[in-house]
Amino acid sequence: MRIAWFTPLDENSGIGRYSVAATESLRKCGIEVEIFHMERENILATTTPLNKFNAQDVALPELLSKYNFTAYNIGDNLQYHEQIYEISKIVPGIVIVHDIVMHHFVAGYYLYSKKDTEAYIQKAESLYGNKDLFRNSISGSTTPIWDDDQVMLYPFFEPFVENALGVICHSKYAQSYIRKFYHGSDRVLYFPYCGLSDYSEMAKSDDSGRLRVFVVCNNPNKLTHVVLNSLGHNAKLSEKFDVKLVGLIDMQKYKEIIVSLIDEHGLKDRVSIMGRLSDSEFVSELSMSDIVVNLRDPPMEGASSALMEQLWAGKPTVVLNHGFYGEMPDDCVYKIDTTNPEEGLAEALTMLSENSSFRKSLGIRARNYAQVIFNANVYAEGFKEFLEELVFNQPIEHLIMHITREMQMMRVPPKSSLPRTVAREIGNMFSS
């Protein structure tokens, strides 16, 4: 079976690293996978055959007809995924979900790349109504919906799966979200580990007497402000830690908030803003950490490669109990409630700092779990089974896709349960 696998392959792309791990494992399973990418330099190394592509190449659809399936990796980075989206509209294929909220991509696609404001508004209105909300976002009279937590209500993922022959999700959370508007075959396959180190040799933390807390920090939904407020409102607790904020903070306004909170709470000698690190520096900092804090709200990713890295490194990690993070076993991560994360984090840090045996055992269980679940061979076998299922079901999928499009023409509401009910009944008819 031949697969054309579309992905970014830039050396800074997490999805690119995932694609290298996934395709190399698929080839070991006997699947003839070839990667299609658009980068010309700084490309990740891989043994998988490579093809450069341009979505505007009129010969590309004919070339892809020689493959059994195309697979499209979809994420919210417009630079990496615009051309992948363009060809996916022409040649139906398997959509691999990396982010469940694509509004940032779609806004950039229509407003900046295509410079077509009306197309954006019309598309948004057809899916969600309330066109004034989207006009106001563009005009600046309100906070743009794509920069607001309410973006979860307007994910804009619908266009990316309307042409899909099947969908791969990396969590049950993503699957349940996508199923609200996709009614074909899908499969949950947990991410194969494609990280920066096997962490077999862990660096030792310093002897300052403080525990090192590792926090990935680059945008508001990672809740760095909550971490700082939690420490700032618990002075005795904060004295126990050296906190490393790792990552480039994308938004200048949010960076100013972070700097202000550090100053306001008197945390300058406790908190270091590390910025963007090289891969080796990142591995070193994570290896030396005693505790990791990985909070996301809202959880817009289909899974978390960062959490996978942290668990693989054997680090006791604090997460919010929702999304992909809530799917992790209770004895492998420290879950806190979403209703009061500041208070929950203080309780978690207290427990982890005062009980070294608990901290160590939590990290060991995390690593053991990660090595079993985030396994490239397991992923490849699951993907192969899904391909075989799609081959068997392809005529049924084409029928369901045709009926779904007819329902769209009839203006059946996007959130209606009718398309999924019809798809389920068709599936039952042919499986009985």
Q: Is residue 425 predicted with pLDDT exceeding 80? A: no
431 band by pLDDT with thresholds 50, 70 and 90: low
pLDDT of residue 420: 67
pLDDT mean across residues, the chain: 91
Rounded CA-CA distance 338/322 in Å is: 8
What pLDDT was estimated at residue 162?
Answer: 87
User: If you average pLDDT over residues 145-163, what whole number do you get?
Assistant: 91
Reported confidence tier of residue 422, pLDDT bands at 50, 70, 90: confident
Predicted confidence (pLDDT) per residue in 163-190, tens digit: 899 999 999 999 999 998 888 889 999 9
Which run of H or of E encompasses 310? Answer: helix 305-312
Lowest mean pLDDT among 4-18, 65-79, 397-411: 397-411
Query: What are the chain's domains?
Result: 2-102+157-192+377-431 (3.40.50.2000), 211-373 (3.40.50.2000)
**C-alpha span between 300 and 227 (Å, rounded):** 19
Name which residue leads in pLDDT, 93 or 219.
Answer: 93
Q: What is the pLDDT of residue 194?
A: 86
| pLDDT tier, 30 (very low <50, low <70, confident <90, very high otherwise) | very high
For residues 308 and 370, the answer to whether their CB atoms sit within 8 Å is: yes
Residue 171 identity: S
Query: What's the confidence (pLDDT) of residue 340?
Result: 96
pLDDT at 411: 74
pLDDT value at 205 more than 80: no
Residue 285 has φ and ψ, to the nearest 5°, of -65, -45
In this prediction, residues 134-156 reach a mean pLDDT of: 91
Between 41-50, 224-233, 239-248, 409-418, the lowest mean confidence (pLDDT) is in 409-418
pLDDT at 406 over 80: no
- Residue 206, pLDDT > 60, answer no
32, 7, 125, 117: CA torsion to nearest 10: -140
Tokens representing 95? 């959509």
Confidence of residue 408 (pLDDT cuts 50, 70, 90): confident
Mutual angle of helices 224-232 and 252-264, in 10-degree steps? 10
Q: How confident is the model at residue 352 (pLDDT cuts 50, 70, 90)?
A: very high
Q: C-alpha distances in angstroms, 116 versus 26, 82, 85, 120?
A: 40, 15, 17, 7
